[in-house]
Structure 1
């Protein structure tokens, strides 16, 4: 005779399997739809299509529309298939983005130092190219359905670093063209004055992304990060063992 625990486990497994079959069916429908409208979609793997489908709660039409928009954008914005460091010299010079180890789930970690960001002569277009450069670098380090983790460090951030157009531009690229890629963002050392900017940006963040953003108290910084990142993979600046490595050198 099965125990209640065994019964619950079997029910859970059956529901999980049923969910997988349902998703796979929708994925096949989505592939047929996008390949019909954009034949180059045949070269895109199921994992990528699945991210767009999940981002739209398994709605085939919405997921397909989102994906086709991405394909059109990618051809226009990244015609060479990648962004080179030579296309973003002013952003690279600010030395504000780093790639660091992996968390306990095997997800790559990025660290951004917000106080080093200033508007520069490259303008918004160069900044957007820099965002794509960063996201592509992080995605290259992911495997399977794994996502990436970002530590957004705002130590020393002030009004001189405020750049709403850039913040909203980065958010739009992440949400529209890299769905289901962000695993979690830890916001650390956030000064009180940052919250005024946060109130403006917050309404533009979709509900799925909001769940992944965690503000960490200074007093609990190391302990919070160590819950998900081993000390050997944590940057020295947060009590770990890894030196910061600029993204262009990774």
Structure 2
């Protein structure tokens, strides 16, 4: 018995886990009693992400969590349904891919040049909906997602306003800490540098280091991309072999199915929506293989 205790006591990994649990318990005590959806949201894994985002400082993590709980109470991300934001997705400017990366993470594909609306509020609801959906579709044991940003057709005239970019960063960093594993900006035009010089100041250090620029003619950046994605799954627009097609009607049906799962998870009622109740939109790049089937 003494030998077993001694080995466990001297095991760095075991010691680290004990320290983590101690910090989580301290954090939970600092937050105080929770109920309802706040209690459901604040799992140990969630608290750990907030602690990691604030370098395990309980006071700073508490402040961050309190701001998130206020935001969630007002924004109600768990209540957003696809039928409410479907118009934002008609062009496929942002959607969940039908593949995971090599680490099992959900993948969101962003195509900034496909922007089709002007309401910042609706755009943010669409973004939050898909972040929540990406989390919903994470395999057990995985907590993060990857972003693939396609700059095909991007110009300064089609770029999102700085206010939109700033709010996107704010939501991702402050209300979904440690959810982003990596973001690949694929082949951005040179003129994007002017836009990036402004946006990068909104990013904290951790998020900044998760953003990777990939250029087809740069061997190192292409190899980095291959470390995260199987070439057979990766769309050609990102240097892979798969054919990228966004079909809004198919994706809408998939999201309607996921809405039922979301409602069940959060304890609310929701009825499946027929395809005719969402904006059907037009197909984008009508090729054979589709990237809007279930992410399994």
Q: Given the two structures, how large is their TM-score scaled by the length of structure 1?
A: 0.85
- How far the C-alpha of 1:125 sits from its partner, in A, is 0.7
Q: Quick check: 1:99–1:244 contact (8 Å CA) kept in 2? A: no
> Which of 27, 32, 49 is equivalent to 2:29?
32
1:192 aligns with 2:190: yes
Provide, for residues 171-206 of structure 1, a one-character-per-residue CA deviation record: whole Å limited to 9, x for no partner. Answer: 000001000000000101200111101001111100
**Could you say what secondary structure the match of 2:32 adopts?**
helix
The 8 Å contact of residues 222 and 239 in structure 1, kept in 2 or not, is answered as no
Question: Contact 2:215 / 2:222 at 8 angstroms: preserved in 1?
Answer: no
Give 1:114's aligned residue.
112
SS of match in other structure, 2:92: coil
Structure 2 equivalent of residue 136 of structure 1: 132
Task: Determine which structure has the larger helix proportion and give its number.
Answer: 1
Cα deviations by residue, 1:8-66 (Å, 9 ceiling, x for unpaired): xx9xx833332221111010011122233x44443331111111111111111111121
Q: 2:207 aligns with which of 206, 209, 212?
A: 209
Partner SS state of residue 168, structure 1: helix
RMSD across aligned positions (CA): 2.2
Pick which of 47-56 and 221-230 moved more: 221-230
- The 5-angstrom pairing of residues 74-223 of structure 1 reads 74-78=72-76, 81-100=78-97, 101-117=99-115, 120-121=117-118, 123-142=119-138, 143-162=140-159, 163-219=161-217, 220=219, 223=223
Q: CA deviation at 1:243?
A: 3.8
Quote how far apart the aligned CAs of 1:153 are: 1.1
Aligned-residue offset at 1:212? 0.6
Deviation at 1:135, TM superposition (A): 0.7
SS of equivalent residue, structure 1 residue 180 = coil
SS at match of 1:199: helix
Q: TM-score, normalised by structure 2?
A: 0.73
Q: Which runs of 5+ in 2 are unaligned?
A: 1-6, 255-291
Distance 1:35 1:235 in 2: 46
The Cα of 1:242 is off from its aligned counterpart by 5.6
* Structure 1: runs of 5+ lacking an equivalent: 1-9
Q: How much has 1:236 moved relative to structure 2?
A: 4.0
1:240 and 2:238 are equivalent in the alignment:
no
Tell whether 2:225 aligns with 1:229: no
Check 1:225–1:244 CA distance in 2 against 1; reply closer, same or farther (3 A cut): farther
